[in-house]
Each structure stands twice: as structure tokens, then as C-alpha cells.
């Protein structure tokens, strides 16, 4: 029986996550904790007996490094990998590089909350979650899903919002449901699919205590 499996992993903690800055498309690396989270994700997947046929990641180093560390722990450092900006984090436009507390002081708590958590309202010069989905969904359908349905076992390392946009489509979530979904750094989400591409199972691994 073909194992139509997809695993999503948000990158480990980045330098700007630690500093509470809006990151978006800015390229920053992982913190030591972020590297630990990535390696833990790889060990958790290995403990479940998982291996992969192909991997995808964004063109941002925090996701690329996370994937590299996960694959090291899996014993698959040479796995064929496709990098594409379609999987990049949501663009935060004028908010990029700002401390989130400073942004609240400048624009107000409510406005910043709307920019961060609404589905279709973008920050100045940036992307909404809907905008992010508009590039993630077609990429998944045309490029990633065919590998999944062939039973190749696919691993995707990307970002909180690009993965949330994808999860919204995979699980048929409403805008109200997706804006409430929190996706922790370095936490794998395992999907299995039926032959007709519908979702058979979702397992979100727990964060370490």
C-alpha cells in the first residue's frame, strides 16, 4: 500500500524570533535553541520510523538550516531538495525589522493585532495570510502534491504563515479557524492522504516540555 505522507516543519527559533522582531522575508539564522528544536524534530521523525524521498524548503536560511539539521538526524543528509520562494514566510512590508512592542506603540495594539492575525488585511507594503496562500497553494498543488500522491514521502521545512496557509487548504479550515491556529517552532505535523487526495490523518507532534 502506497504511503501518501507529507510532513511539515516550521523552522526552529530564529535570531529575530528571539528579539521579538517582525522577520518576513528578511534572512536571519537560527539561534542555538532553534538548532536544538530542528534536531529534535528530526529525532522525533526518526523515532517514528519515517524516512523521505524528497524535501522542499523556502529560500530563507532559517528554513534551509532547519531542513539540513532534520535530515542529519534522520540520516538522510543527501536527500534531493527543492528550494522555492513560494514557500517563503509572509512578507511583513513596513513592519519588517521592527520590534513588535514598538510597532504596537506606534500604530496601536488593535491595529498591529489586525495585521498579524487577520486573514485578508495586509500590513503596509506586505502580505496578508490570504496573499501568502495565493502563492503557496498553487505551488503545493502543481509541485509538491504529485510527489505525495506517488508515495514518495515528502518533507517540507518552511515558516509559520506559509505553513498555516497550506494547512488551511489541506484541512479545509475557514479564515476564522486558521487565524486561531498556532504553529510552534520545530514541531512536525504529519499528514497522510487517501487515494483521492483527501486527508486521512493529521498528527501534530507535541513540543518538548
Q: Which CATH class is domain 5-204?
A: alpha beta
- Positions in the chain short of pLDDT 70: 1-2, 207-209
Q: What is the residue extent of each domain of the chain?
A: 5-204
The model's pLDDT over 75-130, given as tens digits with 9 standing for 90+, comes to 999 999 999 999 999 999 999 999 999 999 999 999 998 998 889 999 999 999 99
CA–CA separation, 5 vs 154, rounded Å?
Answer: 6
Which residues on neighbouring strands pair with residue 56, listed in sequence order? Answer: 82, 156
- The pLDDT score that the predictor gives to residue 207 is 57
Q: What is the pTM of this model?
A: 0.94
Instruction: Kindly list the catalytic residues.
Output: 11, 89
* DSSP letters for 1-56: ----EEEEEEPPPBHHHHTTB--TT----B-HHHHHHHHHHHHHHHHTT---SEEE
Q: Which three cell numbers stand for residue 56?
A: 522542499
Amino acid at each position: 500500500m502506497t504511503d501518501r505522507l507529507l510532513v511539515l516543519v516550521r523552522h526552529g527559533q530564529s535570531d529575530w524570533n528571539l528579539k521579538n522582531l517582525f522577520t518576513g522575508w528578511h534572512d536571519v539564522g537560527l539561534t542555538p535553541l532553534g538548532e536544538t528544536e530542528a534536531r529534535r524534530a528530526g529525532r522525533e521523525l526518526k523515532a517514528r520510523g519515517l524516512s523521505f524521498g524528497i524535501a522542499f524548503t523556502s529560500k530563507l536560511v532559517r528554513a534551509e538550516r532547519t531542513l539540513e539539521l532534520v535530515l542529519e538526524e534522520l540520516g538522510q543528509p543527501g536527500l534531493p531538495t527543492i528550494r522555492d520562494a513560494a514557500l517563503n514566510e509572509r512578507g511583513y512590508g513596513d513592519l519588517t525589522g521592527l520590534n513588535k512592542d514598538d510597532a504596537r506603540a506606534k500604530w496601536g495594539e488593535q491595529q498591529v493585532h489586525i495585521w498579524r492575525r487577520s486573514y485578508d488585511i495586509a500590513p503596509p507594503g506586505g502580505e496578508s495570510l490570504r496573499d501568502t496562500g495565493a502563492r503557496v497553494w498553487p505551488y503545493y498543488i502543481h509541485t509538491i502534491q504529485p510527489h505525495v500522491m506517488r508515495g514518495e514521502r515528502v518533507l517540507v521545512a518552511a515558516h509559520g504563515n506559509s505553513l498555516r496557509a497550506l494547512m488551511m487548504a489541506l484541512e479545509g479550515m475557514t479564515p476564522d479557524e486558521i487565524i486561531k491556529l498556532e504553529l510552534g517552532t520545530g514541531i512536525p505535523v504529519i499528514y497522510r492522504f487517501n487515494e483521492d487526495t483527501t486527508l486521512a490523518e493529521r498528527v501534530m507532534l507535541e513540543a518538548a516540555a
